[in-house]
Amino acid sequence: MEIRPTTEPQIELRDVFKSYETGAGEIAVLRDVSLQVPPGDFVSIVGPSGSGKSTMLNMITGIDHPTRGAVVIGGQTVHELSENRLARWRGKNVGIIFQFFQLLPTLTILENVMLPMDFCDVYKRRERKDRAMGLLEQVGIADQAHKLPSALSGGQQQRAAIARALANDPPIIVGDEPTGNLDTKTADAVFAMFQDLVAQGKTVIIVTHDTALSERTGRAIHIQDGKVDSDQRRERNISALDAHFREVV
């Protein structure tokens, strides 16, 4: 039997401890967090404000480094990369979506989506524009391509940010409260896009305050005081599949 190499990366946090030096002394934000996220997982991270959710995402994206412990993604220890190589590694491997979109205000939507491609050089220069337009079509805002971000609604800007996150076809997508600034209906539409990405085989990790949305992810990790309080996998997808098969049979 042919053994195929694993191309999709597993995410591993190994005893990750993170503290910050403050005027009031050292404060521990993550306390020995160990976690494995296999490829294709749809994970929500929930927990009180200040519990360490953003810090945990920043460990996975390499935006911040652990004080002790290791973050290993697809065999690569993320924080051992130099700043330059880390930026390139991130550009290819992780798409990041923020609560307040963080599109560059002086670039058009199309230019915003092309930016990561220009930076990482994965796609040939002449392919980039078509690819960016294709992504904007996928998220339903191709007609907004030549506008500046300020001309778009919040929901449209978040769609643009998702297209930008997908620019280099990264296997991992992370969102820090990606629906936190959207009304319920728009949040639902954006959430549905994350479900589509999971269906396409991507690993998606989102921080959310919205328990209704969290209940719809395959796995929910609850953080409290810098520790994993609970880590629950839901069988929803499997039972939905079961129901489908019962119908077919």
Among residues 66, 61, 122, 72, the alpha carbon closest in space to that of 97 is found at 61
Query: Dihedral, CA atoms, 87, 91, 95, 96, nearest 10 degrees?
Result: 30
- Which of helix, strand or coil describes residue 66? coil
Using CB under 6 A as the binding rule, whether residue 54 contacts ligand ADP is answered as yes
Q: Kindly state the smallest distance separating residue 216's Cβ from Mg ion, in Å.
A: 20
Output 56 or 197, the one with its CB closest to ligand ADP.
56
One of 44, 54, 58, 168 touching Mg ion (CB under 5 A) = 54
Q: In angstroms, what is the C-alpha Rg of the chain? A: 19
Q: How many other CB atoms sit within 10 Å of the CB of residue 141?
A: 22
- 179, 208 contact by CB (below 8 A): yes
Residues in CB range of 192: below 8 A, 6 or more apart? none
Segment interacting with ligand ADP, rule: CB under 6 A, options 33-41, 44-52, 85-93, 125-133: 44-52
Output 62 or 116, the one with its CB closest to ligand ADP.
62
Q: Kindly state the smallest distance separating residue 59's Cβ from ligand ADP, in Å.
A: 10
Q: Residue number with the shortest CB distance to Mg ion?
A: 54
Angle between helices 125-138 and 109-120 (to 10 degrees): 130
One of 6, 15, 20, 146 touching ligand ADP (CB under 6 A) = 20
The site partner of 116 among Mg ion, ligand ADP, none (C-beta below 5 to 8 Å per kind) is none
Output 100 or 151, the one with its CB closest to ligand ADP.
100
Binding residues vs Mg ion (CB under 5 A): 53-54
